[in-house]
Structures are given as C-alpha cells and as structure tokens.
C-alpha cells in the first residue's frame, strides 16, 4: 500500500479539525492509500490529548513545542519542532510527503532525497505576504525560502487561481463543502432572530464589524447574526464581545453574537441567513488573492453574498451573479434586504455554479489525478 505522510504546522484535530487537510486525507484513504498526519501541536497539554490518535482511518502523530518566550526562544522552539517532525516522518518511510503550507516545507524537501520520496506542496496561504504584514524582515525571509524550495517540489496544490498565479502554477483545490453535506435537511430557529437576517461568519475583527453594525443600523427590519471568535493568536475575546454588543445597541443594530461554534453547526448558521457578508482582511495587501471559504459556502447554501472589490472574490461574484460587489455595505444590504426575488435568483445562481465548479467532490477528483500522475512508475 502506498504510504502518504501529511505534514502540518498545527494540530489536525484540536481545538477544531482542519477541514481541508482532514478531507484530503479522508479522500486518499478512500482511494486506497495509507495516510498518517504528522502535526505540530502547540497546545497539546492544554487539551490533555494523546500524542497519537486515529479518526476515520486517519492516523495522527503529534510533536509538541510551545511558542512561549521572546523572539529567539520562539525561533529555537520552531527549529526543534521541525526536527521532531522530520524524525517522525523518517521513521514512517513514506512514498509521498504532502506538506501543508510553507512553514513545514523544509521537512519535506530535506527528506526528499534521503528517503527517495515525492513531495507535494499544498499552499493554503501566501505565507510570505502573511508574515510580511506582521514583520517585513520575516516576510522577506519566507519569500526567499519559498522561491528556493518551490522549485524542488514534485507537485503544487493551492486554494485559488490568484494564488496559483503568484506561485507560478499548480492545481487549484477550492476550500468547499461536500454536496452531500449541503443537501442535508436542517432544523433551526434562526438563532431567535426575526425579519431578514444578514450573517457574518469568521474571526471577530473589530474594524470590519464596526462597519457592518453601522451599515445594518441603516436598514429597516434587518437582523445581524455574527458567528465566530477572536482571530488566531488574539485574546481579549470577552471584552471585545461586550464592547461590540454595546456598540450594536448604541447604533441601533439588532445583532446576535453566538461566539465560536463547532464546524458541525455551520450548516445551521448558513441556513439561518438570507444574506452573507464576506468581510475583508485587515491588511489590504492580502485581500486581492484571498478566496474565503465562506464565499463558496454561501453559494452552496443558496445565500446571496456581499463582498468587497477584491480580485478573487469579485471575479466569482460577478461571473456567476451570485451577490453584490461593493464598498458600501449599507447600500448593498438595503438592496438585498428589500428584494426577495433578487435574493432568490442570486442564491440559485450561486448554487448552480457551486455544483458545477466548486463542490468538494470535484476537488477530490483533481487531487487524486495529481497523485495518480505523481505515482506513475512507483511500485509498492
């Protein structure tokens, strides 16, 4: 049996499943491969979980390194984590190493010649740009590293056409839902909200939420459902919620904050919405190529979407007429809230496009084709 080692810079299962990695691994298992996910768990002790686990046939092997302390302490922890991952993968002796994101690509490339294995680079983010937003020098470091390492991979996967272009090619696997999941019946109470419900699902980034609450206050009979917790690495969630609730009252916006919800409840959230607002990244440099999963989810659940004028999302919304592109949230909310026929038409348009082009079933097929091509001539 062909052995696949997936390498991941965070835990696959805790606190929540990385749904893209989980589904890729499951698809490979269903296709007859053996898959083990080697992941760096930075909060293992907090969740009192095991070093090794198995779910739905996916074996999970964890290494643990915390990132406490200053810059140089974190660098040392990072290097120790990569070394531990490399040792674990070496013991496994895989036929293919599937590296998820740039932070762990070193591990795969270091082992490529040592183990005579193939390497797939699965780029979920523009890592150099993401780091550059925080620190210019670290961003440049990762930019040089990516340019060097990407020439040594055997296959490249990524999440959007725009990111593929930035990387110089690759097969695009969109982060999307299974049609099977989308078509499951949903029983919900719309979270106690009345009238037309506009939803925001994602990290609680104060600037964009202030804009949404301000816009919602200008639309009659509109409720806002806000689902999510703090962005990764940020604290102060309780205070932020309290401040945003106070702001909603001050603005006169009818808003319901659910806090973080499990992924299994996302279908309930989308089914509760008549409109979905896809917010933008805080830093403008990251907006053009980013294709949020929630945009494809809104299409899957027949919910018209409102997005900002940023290349990846604008292209899809305008091509399939499944929502509105605007910088004026209030105007777009008013247009959709007051036109039921338009909401229905855009929702249906989005679903048709999702079914034909973006469902996870289609993405699985593309990934398996990449594996088949890579394994031509490789014997067990």
Give me the pLDDT at residue 288, please: 53
Give me the pLDDT at residue 133, please: 65
Q: What is the percentage of the chain residues whose pLDDT exceeds 90?
A: 52
Is it the case that residue 87 has pLDDT exceeding 90?
yes
Q: What CATH number is given for 3-176+361-374 in this structure?
A: 3.40.50.2000
Give me the pLDDT at residue 341, please: 98
Condensed to tens digits (0 to 9), the pLDDT of residues 255-275 reads: 999 888 888 888 888 989 999
Condensed to tens digits (0 to 9), the pLDDT of residues 117-139 reads: 999 999 988 766 776 667 777 77
Is it the case that residue 324 has pLDDT exceeding 60?
yes
Dihedral class, residue 119 (left if φ above 0, else alpha if ψ from -120 to 50, else beta): beta
Give me the pLDDT at residue 132, please: 67
In this structure, of 5-9, 69-73, 89-93, 144-148, the range with the lowest mean pLDDT score is 69-73
Q: Within the chain, which residue ranges are assigned CATH 3.40.50.2000?
A: 3-176+361-374, 179-358
pTM reported for the whole predicted model:
0.86
Q: Which residues contact 309 (CB under 8 A, 6 or more apart)?
A: 325, 326, 327
Give me the pLDDT at residue 72, please: 80
Would you place residue 47 in the very low, low, confident or very high pLDDT band (cuts 50, 70, 90)?
A: low
Are residues 235 and 202 in contact, defined by beta-carbon separation less than 8 angstroms?
no
Query: Who wins on pLDDT, 116 or 43?
Result: 116
Kindly tell me the sign of the dihedral angle through the C-alpha atoms of 161, 154, 362, 13. Answer: negative
Would you place residue 289 in the very low, low, confident or very high pLDDT band (cuts 50, 70, 90)?
A: low
* Statement: 179-358 belongs to CATH 3.40.50.2000: yes
Give me the pLDDT at residue 163, please: 87
Half-sphere exposure in the Cβ direction for 242 (13 Å, CA): 4
Is it the case that residue 280 has pLDDT exceeding 70?
no
Q: Which residues contact 10 (CB under 8 A, 6 or more apart)?
A: 18, 39, 40, 41, 42
Query: Who wins on pLDDT, 235 or 332?
Result: 332
Condensed to tens digits (0 to 9), the pLDDT of residues 219-233 reads: 988 999 999 876 654
Would you place residue 216 in the very low, low, confident or very high pLDDT band (cuts 50, 70, 90)?
A: very high
The average pLDDT across 239-258 equals: 87
Tokens of 376: 């031509």
Condensed to tens digits (0 to 9), the pLDDT of residues 336-375 reads: 999 999 999 999 999 999 999 999 999 999 999 999 999 8
Q: What is the percentage of the chain residues whose pLDDT exceeds 70?
A: 88
CA distance 51 to 376: 34
Give me the pLDDT at residue 3, please: 96
In this structure, are strands 52-55 and 58-64 parallel, antiparallel, or unpaired? antiparallel
User: What value does the mean pLDDT of the chain take?
Assistant: 86
CA distance 313 to 162: 10
Give me the pLDDT at residue 13, please: 85
Is it the case that residue 281 has pLDDT exceeding 60?
no
Give me the pLDDT at residue 182, please: 72
């Amino acid at each position: 049996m062909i052995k696949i080692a997936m390498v991941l810079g965070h835990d696959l299962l805790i606190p929540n499943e990385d749904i893209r990695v989980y589904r890729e691994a499951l698809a490979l298992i269903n296709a007859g491969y053996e898959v083990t996910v080697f992941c760096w768990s930075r909060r293992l002790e907090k969740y009192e979980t095991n070093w090794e686990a198995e779910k739905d046939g996916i074996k999970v092997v964890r290494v643990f390194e915390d990132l406490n302390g200053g810059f140089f302490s974190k660098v040392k922890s990072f290097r120790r984590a990569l070394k531990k991952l490399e040792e674990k993968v070496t013991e496994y002796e895989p036929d293919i190493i599937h590296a998820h994101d740039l932070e762990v690509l070193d591990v795969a490339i270091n082992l490529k010649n040592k183990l005579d294995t193939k390497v797939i680079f699965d780029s979920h983010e523009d890592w150099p740009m993401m780091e550059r937003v925080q620190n210019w020098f670290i961003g440049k470091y990762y930019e040089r590293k990516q340019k060097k390492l990407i020439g040594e991979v055997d296959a490249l996967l990524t999440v959007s056409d725009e990111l593929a272009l930035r990387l110089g090619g690759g097969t695009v696997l969109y982060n999307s839902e299974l049609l099977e999941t989308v078509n499951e019946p949903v029983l919900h109470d719309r979270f106690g909200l009345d009238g037309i419900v506009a939803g925001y699902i994602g990290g609680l980034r104060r600037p964009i939420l202030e804009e949404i609450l301000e816009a919602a206050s200008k639309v009659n009979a509109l409720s806002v459902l806000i689902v999510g917790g703090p962005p990764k690495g940020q604290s102060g969630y309780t205070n932020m919620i309290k401040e945003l609730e106070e702001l909603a009252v001050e603005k006169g916006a009818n808003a319901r904050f659910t806090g973080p919800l499990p992924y299994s409840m996302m279908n309930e959230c989308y089914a509760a919405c008549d409109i979905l607002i896809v917010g933008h990244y805080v830093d403008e440099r990251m907006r053009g190529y980013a294709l949020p999963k929630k945009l494809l989810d809104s299409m899957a659940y027949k919910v018209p979407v409102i997005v900002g004028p940023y290349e990846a999302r604008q292209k899809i919304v305008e091509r399939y007429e499944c929502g509105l592109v605007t910088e004026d949230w209030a105007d777009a909310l008013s247009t959709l809230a007051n036109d039921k026929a338009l909401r229905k038409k855009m929702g249906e348009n989005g679903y048709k496009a999702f079914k034909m082009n973006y469902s996870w079933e289609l993405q699985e097929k593309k990934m398996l084709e990449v594996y088949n091509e890579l394994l031509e001539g490789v014997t067990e």
